[in-house]
Chains A and B, each alone.
Chain A
């Protein structure tokens, strides 16, 4: 009798892992964007919201514990997502050791599906920089711990930074557009609503996120 591979050892199992970790990350980017809309209500509103994030769970939990819990879940999701993507890529390379010599003419595969690896890498690099810039302040010229509103404006007042932020979010949007659709396919939930959902979801997240640097650049928020 041959031994049964563990679920995660199968490619289909890895796709479930990608779908579930992807769903967690999708929930995060949506909430992150919604929370940041507070910037339009002024400094006090945004900074209070940032402070609240550290306080939630109190008094049942000590300060920042829930936040760290969430951060841990997010980190785990990122790790699973990347590890599964990496090992699937290796498997797929192995599945076609001799590449086509003539040029392929793709019919259904779109820009989004074929650039998932690249948009994914762009998003990861962006996230690292984003943390350095607005969480730890390492790359922020005028970082004031606790004054989120101030830090955001300080960062986005640099035009190249704002543009990079917009580009990274477009990459995120493309990634979400294919990912949100794929998630349902991989989990076995199908119907024509999937396409509508993925367009709407990616659109909302990108619009929200991109509005922040643009608002700063054009002086709507200052």
Chain B
């Protein structure tokens, strides 16, 4: 099939940007969306034009590097799927596909489709850990963790830190990312001693970069791991208790 790609090009953070449209021929169904961008870049290099910059690494949906807006949706139209796992069999011959970078004050644009998501690291620094210096841990089976709690913690811990939640949120809120890490650690017995400190630290740091949650639920719909907004309710509850 042949597709038209409308891609955001911007040389740098302070340069003006605009869409450019490219035609790509002989796209196969088996191609992933990033492979489509690879093909575009090969085409551009052959024509002597600078290739499109985009982040990607593992290309199996776990590292969280990739992520662009595809036709107005973070990571594109398929639920529970990162951009790298989106395949061209979802598209038809002649389609025009619009590709734009994630936009948020917390994710300043670097170049073309690349943005800087370091704000997430700052949030983790503000308390997204359990303090346990190497060597000081007791035997792993000393603390019993009910399977239900452990499973729920894992549901939250799956977050890949891609930033689609922020990109998809009409308010540019970072709640789902922060809530997922909080829930992961706050649900486990190991995470209890630092629970309040962690919650306050992470939430306040989050608000230095991101908007507020008005419960649109777009974040969860865009999340490649389909992390539930119930964890945001948990964040709200834990923050309330911690600040009391």
Nearest CB to that of A98 among chain B residues? B103
Asked whether, in the complex, the Cβ of B104 is within 8 Å of the Cβ of A96, the reply is yes
Number of interface residues of B (CB under 8 A): 50
Is the beta-carbon distance between A105 and B215 smaller than 8 angstroms?
Answer: no
Q: How far is the CA of A178 from the CA of B220 in the complex (A)?
A: 17
Q: A5-B204, A13-B243 are in contact. Are A105 and B106 (CB under 8 A)?
A: no
Mask: chain A, 57-83; 1 = CB below 8 Å from B; 0 = not: 000000000000000000000000000
**B72 interfacial by beta-carbon distance below 8 Å:** yes
A66-124 residues with Cβ-Cβ distance < 8 A to B are 88, 91-92, 94-109, 113-114, 116
Is A149 on the interface with B (CB-CB < 8 A)?
no
B70 to chain A, nearest CB (A): 9
Closest residue of chain A to B234, judged by CB? Answer: A188
Please state if B69 and A100 are interface contacts (CB–CB under 8 Å): yes
Q: Which of B46-54, B145-153, B170-178 contacts A (4 or more CB under 8 A)?
A: B170-178
B214–A182 CB distance below 8 A: yes
Q: Is the CB of A102 within 8 A of B72?
A: yes
| Distance of A10 Cα from B173 Cα, bound (Å) | 13
**A53 in contact (CB, < 8 A):** no
Q: Min CB distance, A7 to chain B, in Å?
A: 5
Chain A 182-214 interface 0/1 with B at a Cβ cutoff of 8 Å (1 = within): 101111111000000000000000000000000
- The reply on A15 being an interface residue by CB < 8 A is yes
In whole angstroms, what is the CA distance A113 to B235 when docked?
Answer: 20
Chain B's nearest CB lies how many Å from the CB of A209?
Answer: 24
Cβ of A14 under 8 Å from chain B: yes
- Given A97-B105, A182-B215, decide whether A109 and B170 contact each other with a Cβ distance below 8 A: yes
A11 interfacial contact with B, CB 8 Å: yes
Given the known interface contacts A107-B218, A108-B217, A184-B233, the answer about A96 and B211 at a Cβ–Cβ threshold of 8 Å is: yes
Interface size range of chain A in the complex: 35 or more
Q: A96-B103, A102-B100 are in contact. Are A186 and B215 (CB under 8 A)?
A: yes
Q: Which of A92, A100, A108 contacts B218 (CB 8 A)?
A: A108
- Cβ A12 vs Cβ B239 within 8 A: yes
Task: Give A186 to B215 CA distance when docked, in angstroms.
Answer: 8
Residues from chain A with a CB closer than 8 A to the CB of B203 are 10, 12
Distance A35 CA – B172 CA, assembled complex (angstroms): 42
What chain B residues lie within 8 Å of A189 (beta carbons)?
A: 233, 237
Nearest to B167 among chain A residues (CB) is A100
Asked if A16 is an interface residue, CB under 8 A from chain B, the answer is: yes
Q: B209 to chain A: which residues have CB within 8 Å? A: 95
**Contact B71–A14 (Cβ < 8 Å):** no
In the complex, the answer to whether B233 meets A181 with C-beta atoms within 8 Å is: no
Give A95 to B61 CA distance when docked, in angstroms: 27
Would B212 and A88 count as touching, CB distance under 8 A? yes
Known: A95-B104, A105-B71, A107-B73. A113 touches B216 (CB 8 A): yes
Q: Can you name 30 A-B residue pairings with CB atoms under 8 Å? A: A10-B204, A10-B207, A10-B239, A11-B212, A12-B207, A12-B240, A14-B212, A15-B212, A15-B236, A16-B236, A16-B240, A92-B211, A94-B211, A95-B105, A97-B105, A100-B72, A101-B19, A101-B100, A102-B69, A106-B216, A106-B218, A108-B218, A113-B215, A114-B170, A114-B216, A185-B233, A186-B213, A188-B233, A188-B238, A189-B233
